[in-house]
Structure 1
Amino acid sequence: MGRISAVVEQAITTGYLTVAAEQKLRQLLTTSYDYEDFQSFINLQQYAMEGMVKQQSREKISNQNYCIKR
């Protein structure tokens, strides 16, 4: 199926977490995962909070709010 750490590595490398990758993470988090995957997910959260990884889903929400306010 894949590993959380692989999805996280892609996001950190590109600096961008796509909607598809977020969906994949949600799916993977419902399965059994090891400590390495757990740590990778925590690292991704930290990168996102610090602005080092952008989330496509948040950009879509931001763009929708901008269009509504205009």
Structure 2
Amino acid sequence: MGNSQTGEMVQSEKQAFLERWHDILAPNSLGYRIRLLSQLVRRKLQSHLEPFGVNYPTPTARRYGASF
């Protein structure tokens, strides 16, 4: 029914693809890490500003012209 050689080829092609793209796939890319870090910093800042009643504008709010 199934050809084990074909399955091995598909698996090796997947492995070759992952090796070529390893540095730019999401968990490894610099852009992903920067975005994750900025989200963490924004949440931390927001948690410090909340007790004072200050709202830190979100990127979406700034994009659509919300005023704070």
TM above 0.5: no
Structure 1 or 2: more strand by fraction:
1
TM-score in terms of structure 1 length: 0.31
